[in-house]
């Protein structure tokens, strides 16, 4: 990766008499677009919910598509092209997506080229979850307290608002059962045949 980054920087800084001045660099590392793979544990998680979650952190350039294996079966993964947001404080200039997430109680994992490896417990760089010594809250994603001791209200992990949880989120795709529960049933007089 350092070779690609160095090449891109050399081409940008090339003087007119340099050999690099004849080249045009399109380094994949300097671009903001990434093909993202989203693995979800729950096979009933709708692609629209995956898109809604990702749109909190980046701009979606394509809709999520199923990744199909050689036998034609869905692998439980989605593929989507996204544009990462700029972040000048980051070493590579982009704000990276969270490596893991939950939609309700269903876990998901995000992966793409050059995603920094972070601890899945506290979100910090430089160590793995099995070596993590800190206590981290899954609700507010802050270290220092457990989820059960979190001072904040539970927030929706789909849209991020504290007003509701995932199961009540208005942006969530409704299941058939949820749609039936929310449907207004008109109460009228019973229909029967009085001629019998």
Q: Is the pLDDT of residue 29 over 70?
A: no
Per-chain mean pLDDT for the chain: 80
pLDDT (mean) for 76-85: 94
Name the strand (E) or helix (H) holding 35.
Answer: strand 33-40
pLDDT (mean) for 172-188: 62
Highest mean pLDDT among 26-30, 33-37, 143-147, 191-195: 33-37
Alpha helix stretches (DSSP H) within the chain: 2-12, 47-54, 176-182
Task: Strands of 61-149 (E only): list them.
Answer: 65-68, 74-84, 100-103, 106-111
Backbone φ and ψ of 53, nearest 5°: -65, -50
Q: What is the pLDDT of residue 185?
A: 46
Residue 15, C-beta contacts closer than 8 angstroms, at least 6 positions apart: 21
Q: Which residues pair with 187 in a beta bridge?
A: none
Q: Picking from 33-47, 50-64, 119-133, 171-185, which range would have the lowest pLDDT averaged per residue?
A: 171-185
Q: What is the pLDDT of residue 79?
A: 96
Contact 86, 93 (CB under 8 A): yes
pLDDT in tens, 145-179: 887 888 887 888 888 888 888 888 888 877 666 66
Instruction: For residue 92, give Cα distances in angstroms to 2, 63, 87.
Output: 11, 26, 8
pLDDT (mean) for 69-79: 94
Going by pLDDT thresholds of 50, 70 and 90, the confidence category of residue 121 is confident
Q: What is the pLDDT of residue 82?
A: 95
| Whether pTM exceeds 0.75 | no
Task: Spell out the domains of the chain, with CATH numbers in brackets.
Answer: 26-116 (3.30.70.330)
């Amino acid at each position: 990766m350092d070779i690609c980054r160095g090449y891109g920087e050399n081409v940008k800084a090339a003087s007119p008499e340099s050999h690099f001045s004849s080249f045009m660099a399109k380094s994949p590392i300097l671009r903001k677009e990434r093909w993202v793979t989203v693995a979800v544990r729950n096979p009933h998680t709708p692609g629209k919910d995956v898109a809604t979650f990702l749109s909190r952190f980046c701009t979606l350039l394509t809709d999520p598509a199923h990744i199909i294996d050689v036998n034609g079966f869905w692998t439980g993964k989605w593929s989507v092209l996204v544009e990462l947001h700029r972040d000048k404080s980051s070493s590579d200039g982009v704000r990276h997506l969270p490596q893991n997430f939950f939609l309700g109680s269903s876990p998901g994992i995000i992966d793409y080229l050059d995603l920094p490896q972070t601890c899945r417990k506290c979100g910090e760089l430089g160590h793995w979850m099995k070596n993590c010594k800190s206590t981290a809250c899954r609700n507010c994603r802050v270290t220092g307290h457990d989820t059960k001791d979190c001072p904040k209200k539970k927030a929706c992990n789909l849209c991020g608002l504290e007003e509701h949880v995932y199961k009540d989120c208005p942006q969530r795709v409704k299941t058939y059962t949820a749609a039936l529960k929310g449907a207004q049933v008109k109460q009228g007089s019973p229909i029967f045949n009085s001629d019998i």
